[in-house]
Structure 1
Amino acid sequence: MKLSTYTKEFQYNIRLAWPVILGMLGHTITGIIDNIMVGKLGAAELAAASLGNSMVFIAMSVGIGFSTAITPIVAQYDAEKNTGKVRTVFHHGLFLCTILGVFLFGIVWFAKPLMYLMSQPEEVVTLAAPYIDWVAFSLLPMVIFQGYKQFADGLSLTKYAMYAVIISNVINVIVNYFLIYGIWIFPEMGIIGAALGTVVSRIFMLVYMHYILAKNEQLKIYFTNFSFSEIKKSMLRRITALGLPSSMQMFFEVALFTMAVWLSGYIGKSSQAANQIALSLASMTFMFAMGLSVASMIRVGNQKGLKDYKKLLLVARSIFLLSVIIEIVFALLFVIFHNYLPQFFLDMTDEALLAENAVVIKIAAQLLLVAAVFQISDGIQVVVLGALRGLQDVKIPTILTFISYWIIGFPISLYLGLYTSLGAAGIWIGLLAGLTAAALFLYIRFNYLTKKLISQGA
């Protein structure tokens, strides 16, 4: 098949994906803003925010991963013009996300003592504990918001979540500014101020998303006459059967990156702070692939509903190709600017912190060189995973991601990071190995399934 056959799909892919990308970037930028503003307080505060966020991000990955089950089912029924089924999926999905949000908040809150068992610097743990309390609470509005978002994404209405996240980011910056540094009449709260900024912005995000969807005339049918008597075990089981493996897929990857935070903390606070800087930058570029992954899930889900499997394969491959091109561009930028990007996160004018911060920047620059390479693997694995979710194939991919990240990636990170002179860079080489294995295994799985569908439909 000619290259132009795939590239002509780029325009539609981008039109569908760009609001998702901006929305995803908004989530990441919230963390980056926190890191930049907290980083001005010192390396210990930045490491504490890193440690606290690492625990919350694990729980958030479970919530986001679970909620993705809503999108392909909605996309399939939307293609079939089955309004009743779309409504049912939305209500059941929102119900499950609410329960999950409460559960995840409780898990993180009770898991705080684990920090003391991780050989983390005592100063960092002391700062992180109260920070976690508030950021963990923000999981509740965050996961419920995901229920609304994934429903809208399934209907190809990807702009609403983008607006919600962009406005919430503005609110986060304002609250951070006043509460972290104690501006005007507000108390100086340090990293607790950053946590409160996250809570306020995520509550707003949820309220805004409900309001903007509910007032849409075309969507009013989905927002009327809700009753708990409509909740059926069969639909709860269907969403959970897709959502639980999807949440595990995201959990395995995020937990590997979280383990990188903890291993870096074991080496020292400079490595942990450097890890957080590099991870913030890599996460930002990863959101472009995440946006394309959602586009992949929506378009593959639509084609599954239409039973046009040849078009499904063409659409999916066009998104894979677009992701590779974008991630190569980011990889080059990381290589070119690896010595300069980390400087945005630390105060290089403070003489008292200059020597400490210089060490952090040196380590972060090394990590960005490794990140430049795994951008490509990371982009491939997430868009292929999106396509597999669009096919509603989740069980085998869950096994493949576990093998990739924890049988292949983690042992390499552990050995190279703690038992060689590579240090933090060795930890990230393990991440690269895990992501590359996942990209390869998942693509083989997708290729097998689509060939099987095409041959059966022929």
Structure 2
Amino acid sequence: MSLIRTYRPELTDTFRLSVPIIIAQLGVVLMGVTDNLFVGRLLGAVPLGAAGLANSLSFLMSSIGVGGLSVVAALVSKAHSQQDAAAINRLFRGGLRVSLLFSVLFGGFSVLLAFNFSLFGQTAEITKLARDFMLIVSVSLLPLLVFVATRQLADGLRYPRVAMAITMSALALNAFFNYVLIKGVGPFPELGLMGSAMATLLSRLFMAVAMLAYVYRSARFKPYLQQAFRALPTTEEVKIILKLGVPGGLTFFFEVATFSLAVVIVGWLGEDQLAAHQIAINMASVTYMMATGISSAAAIRVGAAVGSGSREGVFRAGVSAFLLAVSFMSLAAVLFLTANDWLVSLYIRDNPAVIRIAASLVIVGGFFQLSDGVQTVALGCLRGLSDVNVPTIITLFSYWVVALPLSYVLAFPFRMDAIGVWIGLLMGLSIAAVLLTVRFFRRIHRFDLKRVDRQPTSVSH
């Protein structure tokens, strides 16, 4: 309790900053959930399967871009603490340029996947529906990444409620367009499954336009958007964002891909196991999104402390983020461990086999809540220090060298079924949590604050 009292101001600041970020990130995730709900209720199982598969693959493609652009907020926060408005302007414009580059690169790769959907071995109907759906969603990657890039300016300057309000408005808009375009209500054409894809595209266009309009019209951002700044080159900022963003994006990709491949492994075990896995992973995904909000706030606060040249500030920002994450994830762990049967009953009631498997998986999920929260926050703290290369190697090792192979071995040779897959994930997350946390606190002691003064947006090695 004395530790909490000591860090109360930092805990309060981190909490206030992280809540709007959490809500905004949940809003983006809930758009995919909204698509699935409308498609499942209005069109049936086959279109739902096609939309779910296409959305999952599209999210996997966009994860590198979204994760890569997230480094900009920490850099903006660092420049803001140094009162360098020109640097903030260059970072903002550089982030927009990188978002366009990522859109072309990952959007193009997504289109390539869509035209080769037969590689996934699905039925002819699902292949055709998923291909067309993914082509439209691939186009929506451009406005999504423009929104993410613009949001970095607002988040880095500690105005996260802007993105939160726009995202929640877009979520409502997405639900509206899903309904009217799938069924063809009033003057709107009946597009079936493609109506859901168009709803995603339109809602993301709204997000990008609304975010850009707010930034350029709000008095809050005028000091950073002066006419004199427009002539400043952004080549160096683009290079820095790419140097930090590509490893950071790969870190996010490795984790997302690990859980996506875990679904494949569980699918080999049977339909009941797959259904149970989807129920349990949905619960874990909600708590994970909470932790990523704290992680984003940690990156911003650590970046600000780095910019002001305060090693003590970096330490206190990091510790407060860890305390907040551990507190929240501990509550989630207790809920998972003590109310697992009740939580599963919220999803399904008439399949005893699925209920039994899902309840056991939720218990394992309770144990990895702390590991998941700690590793996520550690990544955010390291992002605030512009330290991304070694963390990328750590996550690659933890997830692809430890978690996935161990999940397969425990599930099949050791015959532990779906629980074996989840124990493998638990081990990978735990190793990542330990290594990344140790990395952060070691980096604090070795951090050269004089170097920061000379190079405010430098890359750590």
TM-score (norm 2): 0.88
Of residues 155, 164, 172, the one that matches 1:170 is 172
Query: What pairs with 1:156-195 in structure 2 (closer than 5 Å)?
Result: 156-180=158-182, 191-195=193-197
1:440 and 2:434 aligned: yes
| Distance across 2 between alignment mates of 1:227 and 1:307 | 25
- Does structure 1 retain, via aligned residues, the 8 Å contact 2:27–2:168? yes
- Does structure 1 retain, via aligned residues, the 8 Å contact 2:86–2:229? no
Query: What pairs with 1:3-402 in structure 2 (closer than 5 Å)?
Result: 3-40=4-41, 44-112=46-114, 115-119=117-121, 124-180=126-182, 191-223=193-225, 225=227, 230-268=232-270, 271-341=273-343, 363-402=357-396
Structure 1 position 263, deviation (Å): 2.7
Cα separation, partners in 2 of 1:202 and 1:280, compared to 1, 3 Å? farther
| Distance across 2 between alignment mates of 1:275 and 1:264 | 7
Q: Which residue is 2:447 aligned to?
A: 453
| Distance across 2 between alignment mates of 1:121 and 1:265 | 16
Cα separation, partners in 2 of 1:378 and 1:363, compared to 1, 3 Å? same
Q: Which residue is 2:458 aligned to?
A: none
What letter is aligned with 1:397?
A: P
Structure 1 position 88, deviation (Å): 0.8
SS in 1 for 2:447: helix
TM-score (norm 1): 0.88
**Root-mean-square deviation (CA), in Å?**
2.9
Cα separation, partners in 2 of 1:394 and 1:111, compared to 1, 3 Å? same
| Distance across 1 between alignment mates of 2:343 and 2:46 | 20
Per-residue CA distance 1:67-103 (angstroms, 9 max, x = gap): 0121121111100101111111111111111221122
| Distance across 1 between alignment mates of 2:106 and 2:228 | 25
What letter is aligned with 2:174?
A: N
Cα separation, partners in 2 of 1:446 and 1:236, compared to 1, 3 Å? same
Structure 1 position 271, deviation (Å): 4.4
Query: What pairs with 1:399-438 in structure 2 (closer than 5 Å)?
Result: 399-419=393-413, 421-438=415-432
Structure 2: gaps (5+ residues): 452-461
Q: Which residue is 1:351 aligned to?
A: none
Cα separation, partners in 2 of 1:443 and 1:120, compared to 1, 3 Å? farther
Structure 1 position 121, deviation (Å): 6.2
Per-residue CA distance 1:101-132 (angstroms, 9 max, x = gap): 12211111101366533455666545433222
- Does structure 2 retain, via aligned residues, the 8 Å contact 1:66–1:243? yes
- Does structure 2 retain, via aligned residues, the 8 Å contact 1:28–1:284? no
- Does structure 1 retain, via aligned residues, the 8 Å contact 2:90–2:234? no
| Distance across 2 between alignment mates of 1:73 and 1:375 | 29
Structure 1 position 411, deviation (Å): 0.4
What letter is aligned with 2:262?
A: A
Stretch deviating more after TM superposition (311-320 or 419-428): 419-428
- Does structure 2 retain, via aligned residues, the 8 Å contact 1:121–1:268? no
SS in 2 for 1:9: helix
SS in 2 for 1:81: coil
Cα separation, partners in 2 of 1:344 and 1:182, compared to 1, 3 Å? farther
- Does structure 2 retain, via aligned residues, the 8 Å contact 1:71–1:153? yes
- Does structure 1 retain, via aligned residues, the 8 Å contact 2:21–2:164? yes
- Does structure 1 retain, via aligned residues, the 8 Å contact 2:27–2:167? yes
Structure 1 position 246, deviation (Å): 0.6
Structure 1 position 306, deviation (Å): 1.0
- Does structure 2 retain, via aligned residues, the 8 Å contact 1:310–1:454? no
Aligned length: 449
Cα separation, partners in 2 of 1:344 and 1:44, compared to 1, 3 Å? farther
Structure 1: gaps (5+ residues): 349-353
- Does structure 2 retain, via aligned residues, the 8 Å contact 1:31–1:280? no
- Does structure 2 retain, via aligned residues, the 8 Å contact 1:47–1:269? no
What letter is aligned with 2:317?
A: V
What letter is aligned with 1:293?
A: S
